[in-house]
Amino acid sequence: MEDAGLKFKRAREKLGLRYRDVEEASQKIADRRKNAEYYVALSRLSDIENRGIVPSIFRLYSLCAIYRLELTLVLDWYGVRLADIPADASLVEIASTHLLNMQARSEGEISIPLSLNVGADLRKTFFLNRYVREWGKLPLQMLAGLDVRHHRYGFIGWDDWSMYPVLAPGSLVQIDESKKRVVASGWTHEFERPIYFLEHRDGYDCCWCSFDEGRLILQPHPSSHVPGRSFRYPDDIEVIGQVVGAAMRLDLGKRHHTRS
């Protein structure tokens, strides 16, 4: 916390700003926002710089605006990394299926294999860790060029067995928002049939769908023993998009058998 205060002090001095300058600037922001919480008094600024006092989110905003600092950078000074939110969120098991309303961030790094040992045949399935010779860090900015404009992500709740065994509870699904039209044919088996992510008055569902006289029929997997439901379309339900990818666990069979 003291390091953060010192960094604020250096940022202020680098711009040649006095305490009074910062106070007056914050007053302008508070007036524009019509919220006195944005105001940074002289005594409060001194406490932030010299006593390790953590500013409120409003004062933090004002200081970032005045010092021309990125909010994500300043939060990192206090040990708060926005890039860690998805990882920390994964520690909390949510029972109901839901959308992930968190945007992918470009800061941070991921581990990738830089080189493989001789003998790794990429045409065949193999245990990656056994063949990786060197791991390295890839800045997430390198992935910024990927086209993710039409993709959102959803989480299949730990109590949602409606598409098991095709989609297990706890699965992370990728949703293509450009594919909202429910199709009635064109597949040869259940793994080719489109799965849709849907939002309605009771929350979210992820399952197969069909139409019947102006109603959208939600069709869970027969093996799940979850009853189907129907909604007036489009009045009572929205198709978020089609599930085009999934990451899921494969060891839930025994748990499902116990529940049944």
DSSP 15-29: TT--HHHHHHHHHHH
Domain count, the chain: 3
CATH code of residue 7: 1.10.260.40
- 14 located within any domain: yes
Query: Which structural domain, as residue segments, surrounds residue 181?
Result: 151-259
- Cα separation, 245 vs 51, in Å, equals 49
Q: Residues 155, 245: one domain?
A: yes
Count other C-beta atoms under 10 Å from residue 196's C-beta: 22
Chosen domain end from 85, 116, 143: 143
> Residue 132 is inside which H or E element, if any?
strand 132-139
Q: Which residues contact 198 (CB under 8 A, 6 or more apart)?
A: 204, 205, 206, 207, 209, 216, 218, 237, 238, 239, 240
Classify strands 196-200 and 172-176 as parallel, antiparallel or unpaired.
unpaired
pLDDT at position 141 is 47
Place of tokens 């961030």: 105
What's the pTM value of the predicted model, to 2 decimals?
A: 0.62
Within this chain, do residues 218 and 238 fall inside the same structural domain, yes or no? yes
DSSP secondary structure, 60-86, as one string: HHHHHHHHT--HHHHHHHTT--GGGHH
The residues, ordered by sequence, that sit 6+ positions from 222 with a Cβ below 8 Å of its Cβ are none
8 Å CB contact between 82 and 75: yes
Nearest to 233 by CA among 191, 206, 199: 199
Going by pLDDT thresholds of 50, 70 and 90, the confidence category of residue 127 is: very low
Same domain, 124 and 70: no
Three-state SS at 215: strand
Q: Look at residue 163 and tell me if it is in a domain.
A: yes
pLDDT at residue 246 tops 60: yes
User: Do 156 and 135 fall into the same domain?
Assistant: no
Provide the pLDDT confidence category of residue 94 given band limits of 50, 70 and 90.
confident
258: which residues sit within 8 A by CB, 6+ positions away?
A: none
User: What is the C-alpha to C-alpha distance for residues 32 and 140, in angstroms, rounded to an integer?
Assistant: 35
Q: How confident is the model over 130-180, as pLDDT tens digits?
A: 555 555 554 544 444 444 555 788 888 888 999 999 999 988 888 999 999
Q: Tell which of 143, 166, 189 closes a domain.
A: 143
CA-based R_g, the chain, Å: 25
154, with CB counted inside 10 A (0-12, 13-18, 19+), is buried
Contact 248, 168 (CB under 8 A): yes
Question: Same domain, yes or no, for 155 and 255?
Answer: yes
Give the model confidence (pLDDT) of 23-58 as tens digits: 999 999 999 999 999 999 999 999 999 999 999 999
139 and 208 fall within a common domain: no
Alpha-carbon torsion, ordered 96, 102, 105, 108, to 10 deg: -50
